Amino acid sequence: MRDFWIIFKQSFWTKAKTKSFVITTLIVIAGIFLMSNISSIISKIEEAGIFGDDVNKNEVMVIDESDRLLEPLQNQLSLSDSEIVLVASSESVKELEQSIKDEEITSFLQLSLDESNTIQAVYTSENANAIEQPMNIQEALQSVQTNIKAESLELTGEEVGQLFTPIQFQQDAVVASSKSEEELSQARGLVYVLIFVIYFAVFYYSNMIAMEVATEKSSRVMEIIISSVSPVKHMFAKIAGVGTLGLLQIALFGLVGFAALKTSSSDLTSGVFTFFGFSNVRISTMIFAVVFFLLGYFLYATLAALLGSLVSRTEDVQQLLLPMTFLIIIASFIAFSGIGNPEAGYVQVASYIPFFTPLVMFLRVGMLDLPIWEPILGIAIMLVSIFILGWFGSRVYRGGVLMYGASQSLKDIKKAIQLGKS
C-alpha cells in the first residue's frame, strides 16, 4: 500500500506543479471573473471613451415627417426603461448619412404616416450589425401604432387591453416520471451545464493519464518503476492521483464561479442561478452528478491508461485514443439531443450502456422523476464495467508498459496480454 501512495502523490504533484496546468487554471479563473463582469466592463469602457470618439451611441437623430410620432415614441421608450434618446433633426437624409460616415452620429430614424395611419419607419446606421437598438425602437413603434389605431377606432384603453389579454395555457403530463414545464425549465439549464462539466472532465483528465503513461515510457522511467512496483498498482495509483487533482481543480472552478457571480456588479448575474436552475437544485441531483462524474472518470481513465500503455511515443497517443474520443462524443450527442426529449426510447437504452451512462443517465435523473432503481441499476452496471475493464486493463497494462517501438493499432492489445503473461 505504501508503494501505491508514493505513486499517487508523485502523479498528483508532478502534474499539479507543471507550468501548463498552473497557467491553464489561472486563465480559466481569470476568464470566469471576466465573463461574470463583462457587461459592467463594457459599460465602463464605453463611458471612458477608450475606443475612440465621444459619440453617444444611445442618441438617435429623428426626421419626423408626420410631426406626431416623436413624442409618443420617446414616451414609449421611457416606459420600457430604454436608454435610447431621440433627438429631432432638421437635416436632410443625405446630410445625416454623411454625419454617420464622419462618425458624428451613429444612427438616425425616418418616421412618417401613410394614408391609412400606418407608421413607416426607416432606421439607418453605419452597418447592419446593430440589432438591439433597432429592435427596441421597432417594439416601441408597434405600441405607438396600436394606440393610433385604437384612437381611430375610438377604443378606450380598457378595450385595447382586452384585445391583448393573454390566454391561460397549462401543460400537464400523465406519465409519472414527467416533471411540470416549470420544473423542466429549471432543470434543463442545470443538466446542460453539468453534462458539459462531466464531458470536459472525463475527456481532459483521461487524456492526461494516457499522456503521463506514454511520457514515462518514452523516457524509459517506466522500466525503473515496474522493477519495484507492480504494473497494476502503478496504473490505479496514477488514475487515482490524476483524478484527485481533477476533482480539486473542478471544485476550485466551481467555487470561483460561485464567488464571481455573487460578487459581480452586473445586473445579469442576479438571474443566472434561477435561469440555470441552481436556485432550486435538489441535493439528490448534485449527489448523482458527483457519483456519475466519478464513475465516468474511472471508466474512461482505466481505458485511457490501457491505451496509453501501448504507445512509447507521446505523438501516437491521440491517434490511439480516437476510439475512446468517439465514445465520449457520441455520449455527449445523445445527452444533449435528449435534453429536449429525455423520455425518447434511444435515450433510455443508451442510459444503460456503460460508456454512455455517466452523461445519459444523469440527463434522465436531472430531467425526470425516475424510480430510484433506474439510476441505481445504471450505477451497478458501471461498477461492474469498471471492475471488468480494470481486470482486463491490468493484464494489458502489465505487458503494454514493456512494449516499445511504433504502436498505432488496437491489435497491440493481444501482444501486450501475451507479453504480460510471460
Please report which helix (H) or strand (E) contains residue 62, including its range: strand 59-64
What are the angstrom distances between the C-alpha of 412 and each of 89, 357, 417?
A: 78, 28, 9
Last residue of a domain, one of 159, 190, 209: 159
Residues 153 and 197 in one domain: no
| 15 lies in some domain | no
Question: Of 65, 60, 85, nearest to 75 (Cα)?
Answer: 85
| 168 lies in some domain | no
Q: Kindly give, in sequence order, each residue whose CB lies less than 8 Å from that of residue 112, ignoring residues fewer than 6 positions away.
A: 64, 65, 66, 119, 120, 121
Q: Kindly give, in sequence order, each residue whose CB lies less than 8 Å from that of residue 61, ignoring residues fewer than 6 positions away.
A: 87, 88, 89, 91, 96, 99, 105, 107, 108, 109
Residues 311 and 394 in one domain: yes
Q: How long is the chain?
A: 422
Residues 138 and 185 in one domain: no
Q: How many separate domains does the chain show?
A: 2
CATH value at residue 114: 3.40.190.10
pLDDT digits (tens, 9 = 90+) for 263-316: 765 544 444 445 444 555 677 877 888 888 888 888 888 888 777 777 666 677
| 4 lies in some domain | no
C-alpha cell at 418: 501475451
Last residue of a domain, one of 113, 130, 159: 159
According to the model, what pLDDT value does residue 376 have? Answer: 93
Distance from the first to the final alpha carbon of the chain: 25
Distance (Å, whole) CA 71 – CA 26 = 52
Last residue of a domain, one of 127, 159, 191: 159
- CA torsion, ordered 336, 340, 342, 346, to nearest 10 deg: -70
Distance of CA 386 to the CA centre of its chain: 28
According to the model, what pLDDT value does residue 188 have? Answer: 65
Query: What pLDDT tens digit does each residue of the chain (422 aa) get?
Result: 777 888 888 888 888 888 888 998 899 898 888 877 776 776 666 565 555 455 567 888 999 888 888 888 898 888 888 888 898 888 888 999 888 888 888 889 999 988 888 889 999 887 766 678 888 899 899 888 888 888 777 777 677 677 667 766 565 554 444 455 555 555 566 667 777 777 777 778 877 877 777 776 666 566 566 666 776 777 788 888 888 888 888 888 888 877 877 776 554 444 444 544 455 567 787 788 888 888 888 888 888 877 777 766 667 777 777 888 888 889 888 888 888 788 888 999 999 999 999 888 888 888 888 889 999 999 999 999 988 888 887 777 766 666 665 555 556 677 766 666 65
What value, to the nearest 5°, has the Cα angle with vertex 23 and ends 211 and 5?
50
| 14 lies in some domain | no
Residues 146 and 261 in one domain: no
Distance of CA 76 to the CA centre of its chain: 37
Question: Of 421, 412, 19, nearest to 217 (Cα)?
Answer: 412
pLDDT digits (tens, 9 = 90+) for 117-146: 888 999 988 776 667 888 889 989 988 888
C-alpha cell at 279: 436556485
C-alpha cell at 216: 514515462
Distance (Å, whole) CA 294 – CA 54 = 54
Q: For cell 435610447, what's the residue?
A: 84
| 407 lies in some domain | yes
Residues 232 and 352 in one domain: yes
Residues 143 and 263 in one domain: no
Residues 243 and 126 in one domain: no
| 18 lies in some domain | no
Distance (Å, whole) CA 191 – CA 393 = 31
Write down the pTM of the prediction: 0.64
According to the model, what pLDDT value does residue 379 have? Answer: 93
Question: Of 385, 390, 304, nearest to 352 (Cα)?
Answer: 385
What are the angstrom distances between the C-alpha of 5 and each of 47, 107, 300, 390?
A: 56, 67, 22, 19
Domain range enclosing 73: 59-159
According to the model, what pLDDT value does residue 152 have? Answer: 78
Q: Kindly give, in sequence order, each residue whose CB lies less than 8 Å from that of residue 24, ignoring residues fewer than 6 positions away.
A: none
Taking the CA of residue 160 as centre, how many other CA atoms within 13 Å lie in the half-sphere pointing to its CB?
A: 15
| 3 lies in some domain | no
Residues 155 and 232 in one domain: no
Distance (Å, whole) CA 314 – CA 191 = 35
C-alpha cell at 417: 496480454
Question: Of 213, 395, 206, 198, nearest to 312 (Cα)?
Answer: 213
Residues 151 and 191 in one domain: no
According to the model, what pLDDT value does residue 32 have? Answer: 83
Distance (Å, whole) CA 260 – CA 34 = 9
Residues 358 and 327 in one domain: yes
Residues 89 and 193 in one domain: no
Residues 184 and 137 in one domain: no
| 46 lies in some domain | no
